[in-house]
Amino acid sequence: MEDCLFCKIAEGKIPSTKVYEDELCYAFLDINPLAPTHILVIPRRHIDSCAVLTQADEALIGHIFTVIAEIARQQHLDNGFRVVSNAGEEAGQTVKHLHFHILAGRPMTAKMNDRMA
């Protein structure tokens, strides 16, 4: 997609620090890391966010999660890691190309069982 930052990164038109790549996806270091390890995994094909996924994307998303597990092994994220995908404004999505954050290397403060204030 034209004028999409992550499409350009996947095509190598904008530089990034590659962590992993194959024919379906690309992984690179987040430019503004929120944890000692902060990696982004993106499909090469432009998809706006996880909110628009359909059955046709199931194999791709399954593949991406297998890649995430492989990256976690390669990076020795043995103490655990968190996978996050923001969809839409209220969730804080700033780049409108589906991406999965892999965060690791510090305790994650917001727990899944935190209650709403």
| CA distance linking residue 7 with residue 15, whole number of Å | 12
Of 25-33, 56-64, 75-83, 106-114, the segment contacting ligand AMP by CB under 6 A is 25-33
Cβ contact 98:47 at 8 Å: yes
Using alpha carbons, list the distances in angstroms from residue 65 to 1, 27, 109.
Answer: 23, 12, 23
SS3 state at 84:
strand
Binding residues for Zn ion restricted to 49-108, rule: CB under 5 A? 97
**11 vs 70, beta carbon nearer Zn ion:** 11
Binding residues for ligand AMP restricted to 30-69, rule: CB under 6 A? 30-32, 40
Shortest distance, position 111 Cβ to ligand AMP, whole Å: 19
SS3 state at 10:
helix
**27 vs 72, beta carbon nearer ligand AMP:** 27
Shortest distance, position 9 Cβ to ligand AMP, whole Å: 6
Shortest distance, position 32 Cβ to ligand AMP, whole Å: 4
| CA distance linking residue 17 with residue 61, whole number of Å | 22
- Written as six digits, the tokens of 88 are 């839409």
Residues that bind ligand AMP (CB under 6 A): 5, 16, 30-32, 40, 86, 92-95
